[in-house]
Every structure is written in C-alpha cells, then in structure tokens.
Amino acid sequence: MILADHILIVGLGLTGQSIANFLLKNGKKVFAIDANLENLLTKKEVQELVNYGLKVFSDDTFHLWHLIEVAVLSPGISPNNKIYKELLKLNIPVLSDIEIALNNYYGKCIGITGTNGKTSTTLLVTHLLNEMGVTAAAVGNIGQPVINETKKLNPSKILVIELSSFQLEIMNKKSLDVGVILNITPDHLDRYATMENYTKAKLRIAHCIKDKGSLFLNSTINLKTDLSSAFHCHHFGYSNINEVYTDLDYIYVKNKKIALPKKYQKKKCHHIENIMAACAIISTLNLEIPLLEKGLESFTLPEHRIEWVRDVEGISYYNDSKATNIDAVLRAVENFKQPIRLIVGGVDKGFPYTDWIEAFKGKVVQIIAIGQAANKIKTSLEPYFKVDLALNLEEAVKYATRDAKNGDIVLLSPGCSSYDMFKDFADRGNEFKRIVNCIDKVLTHINN
C-alpha cells in the first residue's frame, strides 16, 4: 500500500473516482482536482466520495500544495496540463493509477500499447485466456480502472492492461510480465511537440517490463535505439524472419502453427497483426493450441471498428468511428475492394491529410468532410478527389447515399477526434448507426 498520507488525484473521471474510493477506505487524506468540477458534483458517485471525506477543487482553486506528498494522475491527463507541470516544479512525486493498483497484486500482468488496435487486442487476449480456462480481466485505458479488479478478494490471475502513451510516461515500476507494442504511427501531435516525443512515450513500456519478462514489437517499428539487449525482445510481422509471423493461413510461433480464423485467411489486414500479437503473448504461457484456435474463431471485434451496419439497395454502410488518426483510416480503406464514399473529419490532431492521397487513389471515389477539420481536409485533398463539405454527420450520410451506386461502400472513418460534435467516438459511431438505420427515408426522398 502507498505510504504517503496526503494524496492528490488529478482528474476525477471513472479511474480517478475508483482510486479516490480505494485510498479513502485505506485511511488516506485525499484531495482531487478536476477542470469539470461543477458537472462532476452533480453525480451521485462523486457526492458519495465527498461525503466520505474527499476534498475537491477546480484547476484554479487548489491551494494546499504544502500538504501533498504524492499525486496520482488519471488516464488522459496531458503532459501539458498545468497541474502536472506544477507538480513537477514542486518536486512532488507523481504516480499512475496503475502503479497504485498493482502495488499488492501478485498475478501476471500483460501490457498492450500502440497507436491503433490496443482495445481490440486487449479484448482478444482476455477472451482467449478465459476461453482457455485462465481467469483474465481487460483493464486500463480500455475504460475499466485496474484498481477495480485488484481490490477484489479474488482478482483474476492475469490482468491484460491497455496502456496509453500518457499512462506510460509516468509509469516507472517494473510490473509487466509481457509487453506488446502493436504499431507506432502519427497520433496526438496536438499534444506531443514531435513524432519523436510520441514514440519515446510509447517505448517507455520497455522500462515497465520485469527482468525476465518479454517484449513483442511489430516489425514495422523502426527503432533508433536497440531494446533487444535489455530483456527478451521479439518481433512479429508478415515476414518469416520474425519470431512470430504469418503466411495468411497460419501464424507461426515457437515452432508451432496456429490456424487463422477462416474469415481472415488470405487477407492482409490490420486485425491480423493484432492476432499475431495475441498469439505471441499466449506463447509465453504455454497454453494449448486447439483451445487457442477455437478462441480466435469465436472472438468478435468491439463496436466502431470497421463495423458493418447494414446494406440498403446495394450500398453497404460501415462504422469505423474509432479511427481517430491518419493510419487508422488507411487501415480501414485497405479492407475494401469496392468503391468507397468516405466520411472524415472532426477535431484536427495536427497531422497532414496528404498522407492519404496515394492510398486513396483508385479506391476512394468521394470524400465528405465534417467538423472543425473539414476545410483543412478539403484544401489538402481536393486537387485529387471529389470533396464535399457537410454541416453534420446526417448531412454527410445523405450526400454519400445520394451519390452512391450499387456495390459502393459508405464508410465513416473520421481520422479525427470527435469532441467538436460528439461526446466521444462511441457517441459518433452510434449516431452514424442511428442515421443509417433510418436511411430508407433518405432514399425515398432522393428517389422522388
């Protein structure tokens, strides 16, 4: 248990609330800062914490710095956050919620990070382990605080932890038995000054792996530093020069071959890399191959990841709202052979949309841009593609449907954050599905 008595929590979202509850029940004096305090105080869960002894402050009203011995940063708090900078200035130790949660946990820990595919891989590994008879829980940046699992009387034997770059930046303890970096491509350049800084944050997972642990890297990751001498470092990818690889029928690892699910055989797509990473992790646990193959077949991807919504009059609609960066959109587009009418836009994250041009040629026949980034997208891509501007998502779907032909794909894959128009990516995806499920009215209007 953490030895300090006066603890500050920065960010009182779901994880912050769970940490506050845990610390208060262990007799600590707990303070919390949140920029959204006024709205939070209307929530029953926060009021219960206040009644239990939690002292809450907004960003501008906290003044008890002299009391604070340790601070805990909630997931999503940016390195540029002014409270975080003040903590560093005052030399107050900063911990992640994960380090507190794992302090007295004695099971195995698997850490998964990367730009794209973190949630899908975290859920896949958890599903496989449970299907193979090993109790496992998906926690971390996935939306389930680690502390909620470790505080149980009988926690799962294995924790599969999704780790963001922000969480990794403040993690220092060697607590992971296995770590995976799925990929590193441009993202969060609105928060990181350079791509190099973002890459360094992701690579910090290497510092969190136990001395006898293993790290698996996607072979596409170009490292300027050699990690292989620090511990057991392995690579996965499409070439057989990697320790884990695939021929698009099987995945090969440790002289064993694992059949790919039938729907992914002979297809080179993003999720196959997730499957390779999952098989690499499972290989460290010496579990049975037939059960692994059965688990791979029965796994279903979570919502908002190239999710088929419906077909209407020969037009197929797909929801890929989770695609919030350049590379995720490229990975979505490569999944389809049919002509694509692509809906993009939202909050710009600082990367160049010109990176899409070559990959879109011959595949994307129309682009509809929405949100804050719409004009930038139009300026970047219009010399090469037909780009329409829409006021909102519903109008974008109408434009795509109006112009679509039999056999076309209408794909929502925004490449941007959602916060200008929606609560989050899930809210955006659900709105897209609602619109598509009412599309018959739009088609009737167009046909008339």
DSSP string, 42-103: TSHHHHHHHHHT-EEE-TTT---GGG-SEEEEPTT--TT-HHHHHHHHTT--EEEHHHHHTT
Domains by residue range for the chain, with CATH: 6-92 (3.40.50.720), 102-298 (3.40.1190.10), 307-447 (3.90.190.20)
CB atoms within 10 A of CB 391: 10
Strands (E), 238-384: 244-246, 250-253, 256-259, 307-312, 315-319, 340-345, 364-370
Whether the CB-CB separation of 56 and 32 falls below 8 Å is answered with yes
Strands (E), 219-255: 232-237, 244-246, 250-253
> Could you read off the pLDDT tens digit of each residue along the chain, which spans 448 residues?
567 999 999 999 999 999 999 999 999 999 999 998 888 999 999 999 999 999 999 988 999 999 999 999 998 787 778 999 999 999 999 999 999 999 889 999 999 999 999 999 999 999 999 999 999 999 999 989 999 999 998 999 999 999 998 899 889 899 999 999 999 988 876 777 788 888 888 999 999 999 889 999 999 987 755 554 555 789 999 999 999 999 999 999 988 999 999 989 888 888 999 999 999 999 998 888 889 999 999 999 999 999 999 999 999 999 999 999 999 999 999 999 999 999 999 999 988 999 999 999 999 999 999 999 999 999 999 989 999 999 999 999 999 999 999 999 999 999 999 999 999 999 999 999 999 999 876 665 555 5
What's the pLDDT at 9? 97
Lookup: tokens for 250: 């099987």
Separation of alpha carbons 271 and 206, rounded Å: 23
Pairing of strands 244-246, 250-253: antiparallel
Q: Which among 42, 350, 73, 355 is positioned nearest to 191, based on CA atoms?
A: 350
Separation of alpha carbons 236 and 426, rounded Å: 30
